[in-house]
Amino acid sequence: MKLVSRIAGLVNLLALVWLGFTGQLLSRSPFVFVPQLLAVALSFWARFAFPASQFSVHPEPRQPRLIEAGPYRWIRHPMYTSMQALVWSGVLPHLSPVTLAVGAITTFAVVVRIADEEKLLRERIPGYEEYAKRTKRFVPFVF
């Protein structure tokens, strides 16, 4: 579990760093900047909705408690949503085979990480299965 989590996290971090260093992450265009600003805001909202005693970059629950505050009310993985929004809002305006591959690889890494994480959460968090049935993974009311 921790190895999958670390690899997926590293893949996403490297993608953001690469997009940043190649000048493909940020833009003056409001069509890029606004979604990225919203992604960062979602990330902060999700982080602060999570009790400090339970927050970790690894998906190992410290206390078996379901979090349904803030964006977790509608989506199970708002931090991953914000990461993917950042990556794809950098990829799409600079579309090339390389950037498309970066976006696809990061998405694949997040999907694998979520599958691994949700298996653990279903085992350790009472009520997670019911929570998963009424919320979406990434996009409220969609997916």
**Phi (first) and psi of residue 90, to 5 degrees:** -85, -35
Percent of the chain beyond pLDDT 70? 91
Q: If residue 89 lies in a helix (H) or strand (E), which one and from where to where?
A: helix 78-91
pLDDT for res 143: 72
pLDDT digits (tens, 9 = 90+) for 64-115: 788 899 999 999 999 999 999 999 998 999 899 999 999 999 999 999 989 8
61 falls in which pLDDT band (50, 70, 90)?
Answer: low
pLDDT at 58 over 70: no
pLDDT at 56 over 80: no
pLDDT for res 5: 78
Half-sphere exposure (Cβ direction) of 58: Cα atoms closer than 13 Å = 8
pLDDT for res 65: 81
pLDDT mean over 3-24: 87
The angle subtended at Cα 38 by Cα 36 and Cα 40, nearest 5°, is: 70
Residue, of 55 and 65, whose pLDDT is higher: 65
pLDDT at 63 over 80: no
Strand partners, 75: 136
pLDDT for res 105: 94
- For the chain, the average pLDDT equals 87
